[in-house]
Amino acid sequence: MDSSPTSDPPLIRGARLIRRGVACASCRKKKVACDTSKPACGTCIRMGIDSECDYPGSKRTQRLPYYEQRLRCLQVQVDAAEASNARRKRLMDKQEEWFWGVWDFSSPYFQTTRLRNATVDGSLEPRNRIPYSVDWHLTNGEPSTEICNFLLLVAQKHAFDFSAEFDTPSRIPSIDPNANSHLAVLNALCLLGCYYNPGSLNSLEPLFLRRAQRYLAKALADNPLPLVDILKASAMLAYYSFFRVRLVEAYNTTSTVITFAKNNGLYDLWPEKYRPSGVRRIFRLSDSNLGEYIDVWWQNFSLDRGARTFCEQPMLIPDEMIRTPWPQSREERARGEFSYIDNTVLSLYSSRSSASSASGNSPLALRAKCLALYERATRVSTKSSTQAHSISYNAHAFIRRLIFFL
């Protein structure tokens, strides 16, 4: 019998071609050949396993449900993202509407929200955030009088934070539109009002910062008098830099301001009748404006002592040089009641002096005394620890040398 491959071609042509990946589940599990017959394949019938086979299909067809489920999940995420963008856009439009509602002081938004925020605590927004500027070409480049008055009231609430005492109703009419130093003070106060005011008015900070710096530069270039306004504006700009955690700028401004005050003799403010003969100043000092100069000196003193203690820098003006009396209350200043004997920084460190008592002091005086005591305590403790370490080192060295002689 011929066994050549060409002897049985009808048998080969009649065999059923079985594709891969189409076997039933039972045959796949047992790893046997499957003829893919339905409802049950021949292998399962012969083995008596199932009367109906389960054909799960190929791997490609098995992945289709997974792809469909994944596609549905992605569609849900896309819908959620589009809804979130739509809500954000509506919120931004609403915030923009609220922002421009600030300029209209008769709007319900300002009456119900802005004035209420001026009487409550500030928001939890981080205060070292530098706000974005506002497009002032849309508002003719000038803030309205209502905004300035509102910001001055906000700044007055927090005047103790930057060592200032002022009365807004009495200050606004005294602003000379041609006096750059007065305008520098006004814009510095509005700048601090923007800082303390939560909400959209924070965006006005760059505007008032530039205006205050510009008027201050003009005042120094044209006429450095009145000196008290220049010192006030400079001190408030330094406080603002500290509040915004711009430490290098704040420390440099503080050093410049206290040096300027020292060179103009504000650390030794005594009336002419108490001063040695032959001593004159570059500015006229009388009993009427003495109290204001005393206040601005202690404002700069508090700023300088706090900054140098925080930055661990030495004092620029020693306590022994300061003879300016502590600030009096507004009523005492109006009556011309100033105490010059035993009433300055050195007297604060004596238990026998009335200056060491907190009774009857103005808030500005209490703040200045606290910072003076804090700086002195820090300085003395640093010297004491250094001296104690030096003594301990010398004692141990002496004991080690002494051992060789015993």
Same domain, yes or no, for 50 and 190? no
- pLDDT of 270 strictly over 50: yes
Model confidence at 96, pLDDT cuts 50, 70, 90, reads: low
Q: For the chain, how big is the Rg over CA atoms in Å?
A: 41
List C-alpha distances in Å: 145 to 138, 172, 373.
16, 10, 41
Cα separation, 143 vs 203, whole angstroms:
12
pLDDT at 282: 45
The identity of residue 394, as a single letter, is N
Same domain, yes or no, for 52 and 139? no
pLDDT at 128: 42
For residue 68, give the CATH number of its domain. 4.10.240
Same domain, yes or no, for 285 and 245? yes
Give the residue with greater pLDDT, 200 vs 268: 268
8 backbone dihedrals φ, ψ, rounded to 5°: -130, 55
pLDDT at 120: 40
174 close to 133: Cβ distance less than 8 angstroms: no
Same domain, yes or no, for 266 and 356? yes
Same domain, yes or no, for 126 and 245? yes
Model confidence at 166, pLDDT cuts 50, 70, 90, reads: low
How many domains, in total, are found in the chain?
2
168 close to 148: Cβ distance less than 8 angstroms: no
According to DSSP, residue 15 is labeled S
For residue 148, count other CB atoms closer than 10 A to its CB.
19
% of the chain beyond a pLDDT of 90: 2
234 close to 250: Cβ distance less than 8 angstroms: no
The identity of residue 125, as a single letter, is E
Residue 206 forms part of a structural domain: yes
Cβ-proximal residues to 397 (8 Å cutoff; 6+ apart), any chain:
none
Residue 36 forms part of a structural domain: yes
- pLDDT of 398 strictly over 70: no
pLDDT digit string (tens) for 285-330?
555 577 788 888 888 898 898 888 888 888 888 888 888 888 877 6
Domain boundary among 65, 93, 121: 93
Token pair for 389: 């370490």
Token pair for 368: 């200045």
Same domain, yes or no, for 52 and 199? no
DSSP 268-289: G---GGGSPTT---SS---HHH
For residue 257, count other CB atoms closer than 10 A to its CB.
24
pLDDT digit string (tens) for 241-255?
988 888 888 889 999
Same domain, yes or no, for 29 and 138? no
- In the three-class reduction of DSSP (H, G, I as helix; E, B as strand; rest coil), residue 89 is classed as helix
Q: What is the mean pLDDT of the chain?
A: 71
**What is the 3-class SS of 141-160, one letter each residue?**
CCCCHHHHHHHHHHHHHCHH
39 backbone dihedrals φ, ψ, rounded to 5°: -75, -15
Residue 275 forms part of a structural domain: yes
The identity of residue 324, as a single letter, is T
Model confidence at 102, pLDDT cuts 50, 70, 90, reads: very low
pLDDT at 275: 53
Residue 397 forms part of a structural domain: no
Domain that holds residue 310: 103-376
According to DSSP, residue 344 is labeled S
Same domain, yes or no, for 164 and 298? yes
- pLDDT of 341 strictly over 60: yes
Same domain, yes or no, for 75 and 113? no
Region 124-151 average pLDDT: 57
Lowest-pLDDT choice from 48-52, 153-157, 169-173 = 169-173
List C-alpha distances in Å: 157 to 163, 260, 284.
12, 28, 32
Same domain, yes or no, for 120 and 70? no
Q: Any idea which residue has 């050195």 for tokens?
A: 346
Same domain, yes or no, for 48 and 163? no
Give the residue with greater pLDDT, 112 vs 228: 228
Lowest-pLDDT choice from 8-22, 199-213, 323-337 = 8-22
Same domain, yes or no, for 68 and 147? no
Sign of the torsion formed by the C-alpha atoms of 297, 301, 304 and 306? negative
pLDDT at 156: 83
Model confidence at 384, pLDDT cuts 50, 70, 90, reads: low
- pLDDT of 106 strictly over 60: no
Neighbour-count burial of 180, counting CB atoms closer than 10 A to its CB (0-12 exposed, 13-18 middle, 19+ buried):
buried
328 close to 362: Cβ distance less than 8 angstroms: yes
For residue 299, count other CB atoms closer than 10 A to its CB.
26
pLDDT at 112: 46
Token pair for 317: 């003006």
Give the residue with greater pLDDT, 201 vs 277: 201
The count of residues in the chain is: 406
Note if the pTM is more than 0.85. Answer: no
Cα separation, 264 vs 256, whole angstroms:
12
pLDDT at 88: 74
